[in-house]
A and B are shown apart, each in its own frame.
Chain A
Amino acid sequence: MTTEILIKNGKAAAALLAGGIGALTMGLMTTLGESVAAIGTALNWYNPVGALSGKTTVAVIVWLIAWAVLGNQWKDKDVDFDKIAMIALVLLLLGILGTFPPFFDLFVPKA
């Protein structure tokens, strides 16, 4: 008789939540970069691409750091998966909202 060793759900939860955090960061960087001129300028890390270079790089870095930290914390644990998966999905959708022009235009100062 063999005993099957199951992987705890922490690894999946960490990947999902980190993905949500990465997407939210993309939405946040987009909204901040478009509505605050100084942030838009600061995010211009590569002239041919403009601020998009900084927005996307920050989002990817934050995503990977969040994944490394959460993955390390939860790798051998069972966590409240339903709750974390729901939070991750909400963050993912908020990330999309942050990239939606009619949304970020609400924060652009009117001339």
Chain B
Amino acid sequence: MEVTFRESWGVLHGLIFGALFLLSFSGGIVGLYSLRPEFLTAEGLKERMARMKVWVASMAAIVWATVITGTYIVYPWYRAKPGADVTDLSAYPRSLLLSAANTAEWHKFGMEFKEHVAWIAPIAATVVAYVIAVYGPQLIKEPKIRKALMNFFVVAFTAAAIAGVLGAFITKAAPIH
């Protein structure tokens, strides 16, 4: 059993950072949804807000870590160009996918979508984390702001989920070794 240096970064990017963001989404969205006067006592609100601020700020930090490691560490290995004399493309995932008609779409659609859409997730998640940090307990009286934050949170999750699912399929078709 062996995990290479590049595979370790791939695991950190996708299976640890990316999966952690997706898994923690349900906690964040439920926390926001249930931030209502009829659901919480004053004590409950105080406890909830302290936890939510840390939870959502951590999610924003994790999704930034996901896109930065993905773009600047893993992606260069994915798109590296083989030399003219290279015949075994297994170390060059992009070229490997494009070399066959039945796998080319994993790059042309899958990777092209994943690498771009993923960057919308940290922007949207940071907005949510900032507003929760600034407004705190006041959010319980601000249903319009809560609703807007939930919309942004769902979009952040959707963008990250698209990137995550496509990433899993691309890695299956052409892994980085």
Contacts and interface: CB of A to CB of B under 8 A. Distances in A.
Question: B interface, by DSSP: helix, strand, loop or mixed?
Answer: helix
Interface string A8-38: 0101100110110011001100100010000
B12 interface: no
Contacts of A55: 116, 119
| Size band of the interface chain B makes with A | 35 or more
- Which one of B79, B115, B116, B117 has the highest number of Cβ atoms from chain A below 10 Å of its Cβ? B116
A89 B72 contact: no
Question: A interface, by DSSP: helix, strand, loop or mixed?
Answer: helix
A96 interface: yes
A16 B109 contact: no
Interface in B60-79: 67, 71-72, 75-76, 79
A107 interface: no
Contact of A81 (B75, B124, B141, B144): B144
A96 B76 contact: no
Contacts of B151: 85, 89, 92
Contacts of A99: 113, 116-117, 120
A27 to B, nearest CB: 8
Interface of B: 67, 71-72, 75-76, 79-80, 108-109, 112-113, 115-117, 119-120, 123-124, 126-127, 130-131, 134-135, 138, 141-142, 144-145, 147-148, 151-152, 155, 158-159
Given A15-B127, A85-B144, A96-B120, 9 more contacts: A16-B152, A18-B127, A19-B126, A26-B123, A34-B112, A49-B71, A52-B71, A55-B116, A101-B113
26 contacts: A6-B138, A6-B141, A9-B145, A12-B131, A19-B127, A23-B120, A30-B116, A46-B72, A48-B75, A50-B79, A53-B71, A63-B123, A81-B144, A85-B144, A88-B148, A89-B148, A89-B152, A92-B124, A92-B152, A93-B155, A96-B117, A96-B120, A99-B117, A100-B113, A101-B109, A102-B109
